[in-house]
A = this chain, B = another copy of it.
Amino acid sequence: MSLNALHTPCLLLEKKKLLNNIQRLNTHLSQFAVGLRPHLKTLKSVDVARHMLADQSAPCTVSTLQEAKQFAKAGFKDITYAVGISEHKLVEVLDIQNQGVTLHILLDSFEQAQFIHAFCQENDCQLSCLIEVDCDGKRAGVKPRDPQLIAIAKILDSSGLFTGLLTHAGGSYDCHSLDEIRAMAQQEQRAVQIAADTLRSQHIDCSVVSVGSTPTALLGDGFEHITEVRAGVYASMDLVMAGLGVCQSQDIALSVLTRVIGHNREKNWLILDAGWMALSRDMGLASQQCGYGLVCNSEGDVLPGLCVSSVNQEHGIVALPDTLDTSHFAIGTLLRVLPNHACATAAQHQGYHVICEDEMAYWPRFSGW
């Protein structure tokens, strides 16, 4: 395996770490009577999906219709599109569903329920609808006790379009301790349980009650009356997850391979060929102070005190600590940068150079909408 043969910058994916991360969540959830519906939006790779999912009938989650199309084409049959739907996307949803896939869609308003209902009548079709529940006030969803919830569920249920409830504790990314994450996991579960109870009192059954975010999936427990957990970044992990305490930096399976392309001796800076185009502009958690990513040697060991302190399009700057000077890093030296946010860093690339014991593979990824 020679990293030296790779054109830099590029993405590395360590298969062993990936498989360990996947196994960890599987093992955790196997203690509970709950399923897993992995989110495939982070790595957007069919090769990765095959390791995250037991088989093609296993449930999965996507964030774009492009992902839905690509994973449907690869044979996956049970896909949740976990972003609120607009009317203009329904034709494409139906196209995908007509390929023999169940594509669950998401909504949180009466307006959406109406146009979905009308679309299904006009097209003489059925769609599977999930109502988004707001568990943390961070983004979208109906509050569990909002009377709108019943109104939306009724219009869907009356025409056989209602499948269940979905919530996402995006607020888990703002937690300051593992205990706060555990509390958030409880809050997430409680929100959909209340919503499901409310609907049950109206004789509307939820066959799906879905929760999830990587932190609440890994630290949550109980999962009573929850049918499935969603999580995505758990497979690769990243510095945000390490900052939350959900993993260690050595668990991160993804990194950007880069070379030193210059020195600024006066400022004691290294210049790398990985700028924001290769690393993304994501700065991770404000509390973390990792700049645009922690710097490792070519083996993947974190070099203490080194991060990418600033970036331009194709330049990364590493301000060295006083204990090191630029002569320690000859021009051409290979380094790796751990990503703040795996979803954002991976999105800047077209595929993964996969380190798999003594061999290398290349797994393509896709992008777009």
Q: Residues on A close to B: CB < 8 A? A: 4, 7-10, 41, 63-65, 83-89, 92, 108-109, 111-112, 115, 134, 137, 139-140, 143, 170, 259-264, 266-267, 271, 273, 276-278, 280-283, 312-315, 317, 330-332, 343-344, 347-350, 367-369
Contact = CB atoms under 8 A, between A and B. Distances in A.
A83 B261 contact: yes
Nearest to A82: B314
Contacts of A368: 349-350
Contact of A348 (B266, B283, B347, B349): B347
Given A84-B315, A109-B331, A348-B367, 7 more contacts: A7-B65, A7-B88, A10-B369, A64-B277, A64-B314, A86-B331, A349-B368
Contact of A83 (B88, B273, B276): B273
Contact of A313 (B264, B315, B343): B343
Given A7-B369, A111-B330, A347-B348, A259 B88 contact: yes
Contacts of A83: 261, 273, 314-315
A92 B332 CA distance: 15
A9 B86 CA distance: 12
A332 B262 contact: no
Nearest to A85: B261
